[in-house]
């Protein structure tokens, strides 16, 4: 793949990443995120402003979401196309690269997060399932858990049937180019900057929208946070309806146009 072709692939992958990222942000509901946060921790660190809570939970949510989206939209298609590989016919395996004598099966992960015991076993089982299916082709089967950044690496050990390869070593194994991992970041060029302005506009809209919703649902008359009500919403047995609207013009309008949602329905 030529440098211009690789740059075009990187641009298209970044476009896909930002499209998915924007969709995630615009469709996100504050009520859903608050149900999964630790209100005790938010209180314990001394937060006093609704804007702080909103910014904190939004950053944490998007950070976690971005890692997954980036792996699917950026790393996986580049790993497949630049290796000359194909989509694997097995669950849990993302890219298959076949030569005359070797069948390499890659499970592509963003970073070197350590699997727990059950995740490692599942990955091992998925590789072994594909191994059995590939037995008839009479080639060496080489299963690889690949991390697109980081330095973790190991050979097969214990009951695990796969190798772990990370960072530069992974991209070199996929492409044959020891400098490929550097090219990935260099060839992003100006494309992230172009996307960032539009995303930041949507981010600010989300912050404003969520802050209004939070204050309608969890503020005291003096403007302070009603921690007890937030905790009841998050952890109480009784269902607490979520008020979507930010302002109420009159009691009559509120009664006629009551806009609430019961999250457990």
CATH topology of domain 1-83+190-265: type ii restriction endonuclease, domain 1 (1.10.3250)
Query: For 209-242, how does the pLDDT look when each residue is reduced to its tens digit (9 = 90+)?
Result: 999 999 999 999 999 999 999 999 999 999 888 8
How many Cβ atoms from other residues are within 10 Å of residue 228's Cβ? 12
Sheet containing 102-109: order of strands: 86-87, 95-98, 102-109, 140-147, 163-166
* 228 or 134, which is more confident: 228
Query: For 161-200, how does the pLDDT look when each residue is reduced to its tens digit (9 = 90+)?
Result: 899 999 999 999 999 999 999 999 999 999 999 999 899 9
pLDDT exceeds 70 at position 205: yes
Alpha-carbon separation of residue 149 from 169, 174, 262 (angstroms): 9, 13, 42
Q: Are 62 and 20 in contact (CB under 8 A)?
A: no
- The domain limits of the chain are 1-83+190-265, 84-176
As a CATH number, domain 84-176 is: 3.40.1560.10
pLDDT the model gives residue 9:
96
Residue 182 and residue 148: Cα distance in Å, rounded?
A: 12
pLDDT the model gives residue 105:
94
Q: Are 220 and 49 in contact (CB under 8 A)?
A: no
Highest mean pLDDT among 9-23, 57-71, 81-95, 117-131: 9-23
Q: Are 69 and 24 in contact (CB under 8 A)?
A: yes
Mean pLDDT taken over the chain: 87
pLDDT exceeds 80 at position 246: no
Residue 21 and residue 11: Cα distance in Å, rounded?
A: 15
Average pLDDT over residues 120-135: 88
Query: For 48-79, how does the pLDDT look when each residue is reduced to its tens digit (9 = 90+)?
Result: 999 999 998 899 888 888 988 999 999 999 99
Token digits for 126? 């998925």
Beta-strand runs (E) in 11-161? 86-87, 95-98, 102-109, 140-147
When pLDDT is cut at 50, 70 and 90, the band that residue 88 belongs to is: confident
Single out the residue of 60, 161, 64 nearest to residue 113, CA to CA. Answer: 64
């Amino acid at each position: 793949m030529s440098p211009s072709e690789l740059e075009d692939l990187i641009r298209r992958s970044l476009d896909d990443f930002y499209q998915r990222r924007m969709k995630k942000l615009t469709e996100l509901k504050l009520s859903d995120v608050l149900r999964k946060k630790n209100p005790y921790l938010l209180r314990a660190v001394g937060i006093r402003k609704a804007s702080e809570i909103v910014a904190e939970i939004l950053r944490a949510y998007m950070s976690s979401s971005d890692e997954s989206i980036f792996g699917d939209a950026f790393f996986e298609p580049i790993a497949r196309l630049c290796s000359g590989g194909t989509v694997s016919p097995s669950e849990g395996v993302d890219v298959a690269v076949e030569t005359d004598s070797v069948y390499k099966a890659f499970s592509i992960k963003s970073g070197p997060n350590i699997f727990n015991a059950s995740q490692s076993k599942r990955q091992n089982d998925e590789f072994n399932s594909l191994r059995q299916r590939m037995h008839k082709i009479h080639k060496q089967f080489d299963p690889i858990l690949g991390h697109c950044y980081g330095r973790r690496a190991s050979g097969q050990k214990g009951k695990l049937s796969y190798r772990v390869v990370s960072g530069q070593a992974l991209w070199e194994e996929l492409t044959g180019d020891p400098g490929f991992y550097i090219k990935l970041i260099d060839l992003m060029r100006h494309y992230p900057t172009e996307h960032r302005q539009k995303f930041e506009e949507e981010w600010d809209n989300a912050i404003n929208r969520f802050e209004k919703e939070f204050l309608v649902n969890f503020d005291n008359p003096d403007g302070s946070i009603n921690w007890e009500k937030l905790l009841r919403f998050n952890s109480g047995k009784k269902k607490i309806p979520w008020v979507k609207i930010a302002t109420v013009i009159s009691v009559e309008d509120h009664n006629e146009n009551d806009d609430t949602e019961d999250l457990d329905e």
